[in-house]
A and B are shown apart, each in its own frame.
Chain A
Amino acid sequence: GAVVSQHPSWVICKSGTSVKIECRSLDFQATTMFWYRQFPKQSLMLMATSNEGSKATYEQGVEKDKFLINHASLTLSTLTVTSAHPEDSSFYICSARDLQSGLDNYGYTFGSGTRLTVV
């Protein structure tokens, strides 16, 4: 089945530094990937849609200069949290769709998430 690998699974960084999170589709190509963030005991909030070869589209209220998304290939999207602050500490999850999967499952596979802690 479709597998999405997310790396790193956890990261601790100092305030003011930048952190890059990778999302890879391992056995399929994904022209579109999605980035979510999740605060403790809360739901997932869609942050942005990552489009291969073009600019990402951001949800309302998400700072595009803060959360840089690059989707340079059909199997890799990266999210860079720039100048991280403690309030950026969260669980970040990516997902991608395998277009070859059957209709009963639109094929959205999620990565295992990245726990970011900014100190």
Chain B
Amino acid sequence: SQQGEEDPQALSIQEGENATMNCSYKTSINNLQWYRQNSGRGLVHLILIRSNEREKHSGRLRVTLDTSKKSSSLLITASRAADTASYFCATDGNNFNKFYFGSGTKLNVKP
């Protein structure tokens, strides 16, 4: 990818379990965003975390950011079948106007 890697590449869990996805990036950033993409569709913005923040919550989502390790994680708690999608992190590489995407994690939540 242009900016970083995500792991795992694919994750399969049962409904109700938690899903954790990790993102590593290469350059310094102003902020990091997580997006969701259903198969063959556009992207939906989930959450943004600034470089001076360490953790952020939004509903069942929890995002952490460790700028010293250039990594972030996305936790989805109490997963649902409808959470099945690909999840991407995106960083601005210190340029507020551009976003580069990680390689993505394909999440499958089995009912």
Residue ranges of A at the interface with B (Cβ–Cβ < 8 Å): 6, 32, 34, 36, 41-46, 49, 59, 91, 93, 95, 97, 104-106, 108-113, 115
Interface residues of B (CB under 8 A from A): 1-2, 31, 33, 35, 40-45, 48, 88, 96-104, 106
A108 touches B98 (CB 8 A): no
A32–B99 CB distance below 8 A = no
A residues in contact with B44, CB < 8 Å: 110
Is B48 in contact with A6, judged by CB distance below 8 angstroms? no
Given A105-B48, A112-B41, residue A44 in contact with residue B88 (CB < 8 A)? yes
Q: Given the complex, which residues of B lie within 8 Å of A45, measured CB to CB? A: 1-2, 101
Q: Please judge, given known A-B contacts A43-B1, A44-B101, whether A104 and B48 are in contact too, CB under 8 Å.
A: yes
Which B residues lie within 8 Å of A59 (CB)? Answer: 2
A-B contact count (CB 8 A): 58
- Assuming the contacts A34-B99, A43-B103, A105-B48, asked whether A115 and B42 have C-beta atoms less than 8 A apart, the reply is no
B105 to chain A, nearest CB (A): 10
A interface secondary structure, majority: strand
Known: A6-B42, A45-B2, A111-B42. A106 touches B31 (CB 8 A): yes
| Among candidates A32, A43, A111, residue contacting B102 with C-beta atoms closer than 8 Å | A43
Q: When the two chains form their complex, are residues A113 and B100 in contact, meaning their CB atoms are under 8 A apart? A: no
Cα A109 to Cα B103 with chains together (Å) = 19
A43-B48 contact in complex given A108-B33, A110-B43, A111-B42, C-beta closer than 8 Å:
no
Whether B31 pairs with A43 at a CB distance below 8 angstroms is: no
Contact B40 A115 (CB under 8 A): yes
B98 near A34 with CB under 8 A, answer yes
**Chain A nearest CB: distance from B31 CB in Å?**
7
A46 touches B98 (CB 8 A): yes
